[in-house]
Amino acid sequence: MVYFKDNEMNVFFNLPPDSELIVILISIEYFHSLFSIEGNFLFNFSSFKTGNPIIEPKKISSVIKLILSQLTLKQSPELLKLIYIKGKVFELLSYYFSSTSESENESCPYIANEETASKIKHAKQLIIKKMNNPPSLPQLAKEVGLNIKKLKTEFKEFYGVPVFTFLLNYKMELAKKLLLERQLNVNEIALYLGYSTSSHFIAAFKRKFEITPKQFAKS
């Protein structure tokens, strides 16, 4: 990741022959909106406030390599291509920043009420910890000390989606990671994620990604 306050900059790359270069340009305003409203976690933007350049080289994972390769696939028609690329960029950002420690990710200085932010973070941790048998909304609200309406509203504001949509997305992303690791088969992954049958898991995965787990593992 590279950040410069100025609109123009010169960047030089020393690349081996037959390399492919993918550059994604995002304004700081749009970047902030993704993480403070639509993103799956909160992000610390204090480093951007100084206006100093940020250069953060990072070794990419096998999952990110796969997403980058998918970005180079030809898509048509043009409208579907734009939707596809936007989805892949969101997926790429999610994986790129998910490896950053949680203590850094969840101390955003733009959140006005830090006590509420802490409770919402706790709610997220609880549903992930108990993903095989998650608490109901009333139970979750009671555990974190918020009323149901406040929990639903604030959770969606912070993470961009309702509580159980977030949990489903988390399970599906974890499923992709487990499929790529190739340590568990589809039935074992379904059981690990709390599905009563593998067919329920396969159906949920296909609804989310329009591809079966087995097809994804082979891609």
Tens digit of pLDDT for each residue in 170-182?
999 899 989 988 8
Are 66 and 150 members of one domain?
no
**Single pTM value for the model:** 0.53
Residues 22 and 70 in one domain: yes
80 membership: H or E segment, kind and range: helix 78-98
CA nearest 125: which of 153, 149, 95, 105?
Answer: 105
Same structural domain for residues 74 and 146? no
Q: Is 34 part of any domain? A: yes
Pick from 114, 109, 98, 2: nearest CA to 46: 109
Whether residue 68 sits in one domain with residue 55: yes
Tell which phi-psi region holds residue 65, choosing left (phi > 0), alpha (psi between -120 and 50) or beta: alpha
Percentage of the chain modeled with pLDDT above 90: 31
Does residue 43 sit within a domain? Answer: yes
Structural domain total, the chain? 3
DSSP 8-state secondary structure symbol assigned to residue 212: -
Q: Is residue 110 part of a domain?
A: no
| CA dist., res. 138 & res. 147, Å (int) | 8
CB of 201 closer than 8 Å to CB of 190:
yes
The residue range of the domain holding 192 is 165-218
pLDDT of residue 74: 64
| Residue range 162-210, pLDDT digits in tens | 999 999 989 998 999 899 888 899 999 999 999 989 999 999 999 988 8
Encoded tokens for 65: 């390599």
Confidence of residue 35 (pLDDT cuts 50, 70, 90): low
Structure tokens of 140?
């979750």
